[in-house]
Chains A and B, each alone.
Chain A
Amino acid sequence: MSLIDLGPLGLGSHADWRQGLPFMATARLMLREVRRSDARALLRLTQSPDIARHTWPPPPDLEAFERFIEWARSKRADGGHACFAVVPRGQTELAGLFDLRSLEPGFVRAELSFFLDPSLWGTGVFIDAARMVCEFAFTAVGIHRIEARCEVDNDRGNRALEKLGASNEGRLRASFVREGAAVDQYLWSLVNGVD
């Protein structure tokens, strides 16, 4: 099986993804566009303390998550956002999220944020999913540079980004808040054609 199933739209056209994100798969997982029916699983996952300590406050309830999903899909149609659900092979429910957000009109530069069910940490699912999302970003969307931020004390997150091949570009002072306290983050990046 190839790393990426190009799906009915294929990844060759820079315009097609605005009509709907492609389905992509490896032996370990599937990536597909987030759907309204994912709201309950997203709410449950983001309430996990292991995830919540590393993420900005999520939508507070089911209806707010449904609105977020509708917003993400509408922004995808506008060409400024791509939000993928991670579904482990053999399962039907979402177990993680990879979110690409344009930092400028034209999607030259994007911010990547993500989380995974803690039961999948260390299984290779992150690397599989991240590689597919980055390949999608560089190939289908035409993004030149992807940025990700991770708290300096999040060893697992920083190691995962390093393993992905991202470069640590600097330390951002007081750029995240955890339990009311400011926390530094590292800024990581992947540049198309360089990394």
Chain B
Amino acid sequence: MLVTPRVVLRELRRSDAASLWRVSRSPEVARDSWPGPPTVDAFEAFISRAWRGRAEGKYACFASVSSNQPEPTGLFELRSLQPSFFRAELGLLVDAPMWENGVFEDAMRLVCGFAFRTVGARRVEIRVSVAHARCNAALERLGVQKEAVLRAAFPQGGQFEDQYLWSLVSGLDPLAAP
């Protein structure tokens, strides 16, 4: 469990399925996310897969609980893109309450500390739709580096939108201190 006064990151629990499924279905979140599990039962199955992936050493998924919220309002997943987690992709599911009062920034610091200091990742990549102004601005404030514009990389409304590829590199970026 990773904790600041504003937010707790902890492993997913089966009982998180309903609240996180609701988060994933909210129009504001769904607009910027790949389609999530379609039902609460499917979300429970996703949580079971996440536990297996963690046990196999190739996946880590945290529920994010803001201090003023009774249930998780976000999810941060680290997916290994190479054996031994040299390169990882960070996926985000962030509901409106998390964007307030520095909660997202706290959660990012926690999950990046886990990725670089506990898991030993050397490089973490994040893909965000160019239209997701709030998330892109938050990453920039945190010192995450924008490396590429990915053409037509994200399906949205029957078309494909560009994404930014952001990265953190161990030893180079403040959030990636080894």
Contacts and interface: CB of A to CB of B under 8 A. Distances in A.
B172 A173 contact: yes
A170 interface: yes
B151 A175 contact: no
Interface stretch (B20-28, B93-101, B129-137, B152-160): B152-160
Given A145-B153, A191-B152, A172 B147 contact: yes
A194 B148 contact: no
Given A144-B160, A187-B165, A172 B153 contact: no
Contacts of B167: 172-173, 175
A173 B166 CA distance: 10
B32 to A, nearest CB: 14
A169 B151 CA distance: 8
Nearest to A147: B150
Interface residues of A, number: 22
A175 B160 CA distance: 26
Contacts of A145: 150-153, 160
A interface, by DSSP: helix, strand, loop or mixed? Answer: strand
- Pick from A147, A174, A194 the residue with the most CB of B within 10 Å: A174
A109 interface: yes
Contacts of A189: 150-151, 153
Given A173-B145, A173-B169, A174-B169, A182 B122 contact: yes
A167 B155 CA distance: 19
A108 interface: yes
Contact of B155 (A108, A171, A177): A108
A172 B172 contact: no
Contacts of A173: 123, 145, 147, 167, 169, 172
B86 A169 contact: no
A167 B153 CA distance: 13
- Pick from A108, A145, A167, A175 the residue with the most CB of B within 10 Å: A175
Contacts of B148: 169-172, 187
B28 to A, nearest CB: 21
A167 B151 contact: yes
Interface in A178-195: 182, 187, 189, 191, 194
A194 B169 contact: no
Contact of B123 (A104, A147, A175, A194): A175
B109 interface: no
A145 B125 CA distance: 18
Interface in B74-89: 82-83, 86-87
Interface of A: 56, 104-105, 108-109, 144-145, 147, 167, 169-175, 177, 182, 187, 189, 191, 194
6 contacts: A56-B82, A104-B34, A108-B155, A167-B151, A169-B151, A171-B148
